[in-house]
């Protein structure tokens, strides 16, 4: 019997199998990868915790199907991530790959994912090329495109009347996207644009240069441990409270437990906050706090939404993840209650989002968290949609 004949017989048997067989038989395999070690470990851990809570709240299954989650740490090393994704695809034969914390990792694994036509559900990283010319019909980002949050903060800075802003970010894809997005919607002058090393621990020299530039406000993108170090040094220099500090993905639920009152007064841009007043979000926040003993971060919220997205899609395919065309069509419908409220996909697999700004402040329980200030860009699509050939 030739290998081609065996493949043909296998395909016919798969097509003939009743839908209930998939929910009752082999589990849906999901390869989950995130940054789970090093200075950014809190980001990946929140993603994993949010995703697993979503599966738990869906009854321990997704769309009625038993789920096997294979968890891996990319260690913020793109070459290691590529090896892991290839193992997911070739050895583990996963149905879906999900997660990914950092955009340099996402860019590294995009080609093997695309070449294998594996369905991918992103839970954080949203690099610009994958929203534009390298968009892929198998990629669904349950998070955001990197520029979107920054664009909301740029709009906020313009509305506040800031004329001269100093910007800083680490030198990698998401850092450049975060600066590019801010500049796209900020109508004033950029009086300093500085890119630092990824995971750089000391910003004292850069902060001294910033202070000398005497800007009206400062905008930064420093996720994880980078954000903790930056704002501590910014406050030590006596600048927090003197110069308005705006950010994305820097002073959030992943870093506030370490920063506490050090970050009070800082401004963050996002599409989700723990104080959002909708039923899905109230349940998510309450369940997350009860299970993990902390206020969830945006990373957890995105991953929870990813689980709910998969639950809704697999329910429409009767738990069948092998029929990729049907599963992709169901994912694109995004028929679930999002913790952020409105959620729908554009043709490039990135969501349309309502953007907000938040202030780091104490909540009604006296805990340091995010307080919603205002909406900045309602129904906001990413800026690369027009470049997507799909």
Each domain of the chain, given as residue ranges in start order, spans 28-145+276-353, 147-274+357-385
Q: What is the pLDDT of residue 25?
A: 65
Alpha helices in the chain (DSSP H): 3-16, 19-24, 41-57, 78-87, 103-116, 128-131, 146-160, 173-185, 204-213, 225-236, 256-259, 279-292, 298-316, 324-333
Q: What is the pLDDT of residue 3?
A: 37
The yes-or-no answer to whether 28-145+276-353 and 147-274+357-385 have a common fold is yes
Q: What is the pLDDT of residue 14?
A: 41
Distance CA 281, CA 216 (A): 35
Distance CA 139, CA 244 (A): 37
Q: Are 181 and 167 in contact, with CB atoms under 8 Å apart?
A: no
Q: What is the pLDDT of residue 20?
A: 41
Give residues with Cβ within 8 angstroms of 362, minimum separation 6.
Answer: 264, 368, 369
Q: Are 272 and 301 in contact, with CB atoms under 8 Å apart?
A: yes
Q: What is the pLDDT of residue 252?
A: 85
Start-to-end C-alpha separation, the chain: 39
* Residue the block writes with tokens 């809190």: 42
Please give the backbone phi and psi of residue 62, each rounded to the nearest 5 degrees, phi first.
-125, 120
Distance CA 343, CA 381 (A): 11
Residues of the chain with pLDDT under 70: 1-25
- Encoded tokens for 375: 């909406």
- Encoded tokens for 2: 């030739």
Superfamily grouping for domain 147-274+357-385:
Response regulator (3.40.50.2300)
Distance CA 93, CA 99 (A): 17
* Count of CA atoms in the C-beta half-sphere (13 A) of 312: 15
Helices and strands (H and E) in the chain: how many? 14, 14
Distance CA 2, CA 25 (A): 27
Distance CA 176, CA 260 (A): 28
Q: Are 29 and 92 in contact, with CB atoms under 8 Å apart?
A: yes
Distance CA 92, CA 114 (A): 17
Q: What is the CA radius of gyration of the chain?
A: 21
Which residue, 32, 91, 30, is CA-closest to 63?
30
Average pLDDT of the chain, as a whole number: 93
Which residue, 41, 14, 155, 174, is CA-closest to 95?
14
Q: Are 351 and 255 in contact, with CB atoms under 8 Å apart?
A: no
The answer to whether domain 28-145+276-353 has CATH 3.40.50.2300 is yes
User: Which three-class secondary structure state does DSSP give residue 219?
Assistant: strand
Q: What is the pLDDT of residue 22?
A: 44
Give residues with Cβ within 8 angstroms of 189, minimum separation 6.
Answer: 163, 164, 165
- Encoded tokens for 101: 């914390």
pLDDT digits (tens, 9 = 90+) for 253-287: 888 998 999 999 999 999 999 999 999 999 999 99
Is residue 377 within a helix (H) or strand (E), and if so which, with residue range? strand 368-380
Q: How many CB atoms lie within 10 A of CB 345?
A: 17
């Amino acid at each position: 019997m030739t290998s081609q004949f065996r493949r043909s017989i296998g395909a016919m048997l798969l097509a003939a199998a009743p839908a209930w067989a998939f929910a009752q038989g082999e589990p849906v395999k999901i390869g989950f990868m995130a940054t789970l070690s090093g200075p950014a470990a809190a980001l990946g851990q929140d993603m994993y915790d949010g995703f697993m809570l979503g599966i738990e709240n869906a009854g321990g299954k997704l769309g009625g199907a038993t789920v096997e989650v294979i968890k891996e740490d990319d260690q913020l090393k793109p070459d290691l991530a590529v090896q892991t994704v290839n193992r997911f695809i070739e050895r583990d034969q996963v149905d879906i790959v999900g997660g990914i914390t950092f955009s340099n990792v996402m860019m590294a694994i995009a080609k093997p994912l695309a070449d294998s036509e594996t369905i991918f559900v992103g839970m954080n990283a949203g690099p610009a090329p994958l929203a534009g010319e390298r968009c892929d019909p198998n990629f669904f980002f349950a998070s955001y495109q990197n520029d979107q949050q920054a664009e909301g903060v740029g709009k906020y800075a313009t509305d506040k009347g800031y004329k001269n802003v100093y910007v800083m970010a680490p030198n990698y894809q998401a850092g450049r996207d975060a600066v590019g997005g801010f500049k796209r919607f900020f109508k004033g002058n950029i009086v300093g644009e500085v890119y630092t090393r990824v995971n750089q621990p000391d910003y004292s020299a850069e902060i001294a240069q910033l202070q000398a530039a005497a800007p009206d406000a400062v905008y930064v993108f420093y996720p994880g441990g980078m954000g903790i170090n930056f704002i501590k040094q910014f406050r030590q220099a006596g600048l927090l409270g003197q110069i308005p500090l705006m950010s994305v993905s820097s002073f959030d639920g992943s870093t506030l437990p370490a920063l506490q009152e050090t970050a009070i007064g800082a401004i963050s841009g996002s599409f989700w906050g723990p104080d959002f007043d909708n039923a899905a979000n109230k349940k998510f926040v309450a369940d997350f706090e009860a299970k993990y003993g902390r206020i969830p971060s945006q990373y957890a919220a995105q991953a929870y939404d990813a689980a709910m997205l998969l639950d809704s899609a697999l329910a429409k395919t009767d738990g069948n993840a092998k029929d990729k065309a049907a599963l992709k069509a169901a994912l694109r419908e995004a028929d679930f209650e999002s913790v952020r409220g409105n959620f729908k996909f554009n043709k490039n697999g990135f969501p349309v989002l309502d953007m907000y700004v938040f202030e780091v402040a104490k909540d009604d329980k006296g805990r340091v968290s995010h307080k919603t200030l205002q909406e900045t860009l309602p129904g906001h699509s990413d800026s690369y949609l027009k470049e997507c050939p799909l």
